[in-house]
Amino acid sequence: MKEPVKEQTVELTVNGDNYEINVHPLKRLLDVLREDLKLTGTKEGCGEGECGACTIHFDGEPALACMIPVCQADGAEITTIEGLSSDGRLSLVQEAFHQEGGTQCGICTPGMIMSATYYIDNPDSAENMREALAGNQCRCTGYKRIFDSVEEAFKNK
């Protein structure tokens, strides 16, 4: 019978790069991304599933990196905010946030852009834009410019 472990080898594909790391199996994927892989674009707000600052794409779907134990990410394909731009060019959604002023302090922005990107690629996944972004809190913008940014990205799709 298997024994309880406090260290485990986990394989991850993040933004197309493969990693193999030895970690505590309950370490949050959020901390693995930030501390072990030095991908600090993914932010921590609440650490308990409420704010969406840690939103990533987990096997292609938006999920909260503060809720995922790394043992459950073994073999997973992950995209973080760092994986959206290519050849130094911003993605469609990033560009729209830049043009429309959809960001102020910036803490919510990576998570907001990950949710918005998924919604723009999969518009049937939510009833509307507000539902698609409902898990992402912003203390600065009042949301208007964020919604404008997402609409702009839709137009340019």
Partner 1 sequence: MKPYLEDYAVINPDSEREVAEILADDPEVIPLAGGTDLFVSLKNGVLPPSAFLNMKSCPDFEKEPELTDSELILEPLTTISDVRYDEDANRFRLLYEACKNLSVISIQNLATWAGNVANASPCANGAAALMAYDATLELAGVEGTREVKLTQFYRGYKELKMEKEEYIRRIKVPRPEPGWKEYYRDVGPREYQAISKTLLAGRIQLGRGEEVNDVRLVAGSVYPHTLKLRQTEDYLRGRELTEETIDAACEKLQEEIQPVDDVRSNRQYRRRVTENMLREFLQESRPL
Alpha carbon distance 117, 125 (integer Å)? 12
Alpha carbon distance 8, 86 (integer Å)? 32
Q: Choose the stretch contacting ligand FES; rule: CB under 6 A; options: 74-82, 86-94, 100-108, 114-122.
A: 100-108
Among 50, 59, 74, 121, binds ligand FAD (CB under 6 A): 50
Q: Counting contacts by CB under 8 A, is residue 17 touching partner 1?
A: no
Nearer to ligand FAD, 49 or 142 (CB): 49
Alpha carbon distance 26, 146 (integer Å)? 34
Alpha carbon distance 116, 114 (integer Å)? 6
Q: Counting contacts by CB under 6 A, is residue 108 touching ligand FES?
A: yes
> Least distance in Å: CB of 101 to partner 1?
24
Q: Which of 107, 37, 28 is nearest to 70 (CA)?
A: 28
Residues that bind ligand FAD (CB under 6 A): 49-50
